[in-house]
Amino acid sequence: MRVAVLFIDGVGIGRKDPAINPLAHREHLLSCFQDAPGPLLPEGGRYIPVDTTFGVAGRPQSASNQTAILTGDPAPALLGQHILGYPNAPLRGLMADRSIVKRLGAAGRTATFANAYPAPYLDAMGVPRRESTSPPEFTIAPEARRKVKPSAAKLAFTAGGVPLRTLDDARAGDGLTPDITGTAARAHGLSVPERTPEEAAHVFWHVASGADFTYFEHYLADEAGHAQDLTAALSALDTFDAFARAVVATRPADARVLVCSDHGNVEDLSTRGHTLHLVPVLYFGPPEPEVEAFSTVADVGRAVLRWLGAE
């Protein structure tokens, strides 16, 4: 059995109000609403709304909740606060000890991160990466390197000793840019292929064919939410939805797929900040009653460990 997680930053369960919620403009997999029945999902998919607050005061944030997903531990509750942006020293310590990637490796399981990044960007973070034979895409000035910090996912795979993919991998069809299609990367002057979401799904399963656990993260919806930009939100959500649908439609029989977020944001464009809303977790795969018991985003990481025998 293999497990894949498609992570999208900043998508919660809001009101079905097109004036503030871009998800109300479409019938997406993640078009889940407080005031409407759950979505009718393809391939027998299941929808579970889960908590993002962990009972901690304040608004949920990316660093602590993504750490919760990637350790299976209630990171905000353990720290007693929500940590925004990039993991701080306590979260880094938790990830170094408890990363699900590290624990899968200790159990003899393999894991891979499908995202591909410019080599100079990864080098500035000091995280291990695959070899790149192409000239550096750009140069980061020494004073700017201090501002480049690894996300929770990069730390999770670093803790497990898994080198990250570079744009050489994306060009070789062995990795995906975080924007899925390559359009945003190309707009920033990076030399990467431009793919349809369906072609990206094919690349995703190619990457996943060599691992027990595969992770992909997409963050443009969260950026659109902070910008209160409806056009950008619809573009990001449309792309992710087409990609996720194609991943689910071509899911191998021996694979389970989870789609999840870390906190709410883009579902309420009336505010720039994160929300206290529940977030959707979607499950596609063989019947699995235990997903109905998911209560927080940390249950995603715990399920990966259980299903792969590494709990």
pLDDT tens-digit map of 41-63: 999 999 999 999 999 999 999 99
The lowest-confidence range among 3-12, 135-144, 222-231 is: 135-144
- Give percent of the chain with pLDDT exceeding 90: 94
pLDDT tens-digit map of 17-46: 999 999 999 999 999 999 888 889 999 999
pLDDT tens-digit map of 83-122: 999 999 999 999 999 999 999 999 999 999 999 999 999 9
Average pLDDT (222-246) is: 98
At residue 24, the pLDDT reads 97
Strand (E) or helix (H) holding 116: strand 116-117
pLDDT tens-digit map of 250-282: 999 999 999 999 999 999 999 999 999 999 999
pLDDT tens-digit map of 150-167: 999 999 999 999 999 999
State the Cα–Cα distance between residues 1 and 247, nearest whole angstrom.
Answer: 16
Q: For residue 138, is pLDDT > 90?
A: no
At residue 161, the pLDDT reads 98
Confidence of residue 69 (pLDDT cuts 50, 70, 90): very high
At residue 245, the pLDDT reads 98
Sorted by where each begins, the domain ranges of the chain are 2-307
At residue 166, the pLDDT reads 98
At residue 307, the pLDDT reads 97
State the Cα–Cα distance between residues 28 and 24, nearest whole angstrom.
Answer: 9
Q: What are phi and psi of 133, to 5 degrees?
A: -100, -5
Q: For residue 143, is pLDDT > 90?
A: no
Q: What six digits make up the tokens of 244?
A: 């996720």
Fold of 2-307: Alkaline Phosphatase, subunit A (3.40.720)
- 163 burial class (0-12, 13-18, 19+ CB within 10 angstroms)? middle
Here the contacts of 144-147 (C-beta below 8 Å, separation 24 or greater) are: none
State the Cα–Cα distance between residues 269 and 116, nearest whole angstrom.
Answer: 29
Q: For residue 142, is pLDDT > 90?
A: no
Using a cut of 0.85, tell me whether the model's pTM lies above it. yes
At residue 146, the pLDDT reads 83
At residue 38, the pLDDT reads 87
Contact present, 115 and 243 (Cβ < 8 Å) = no
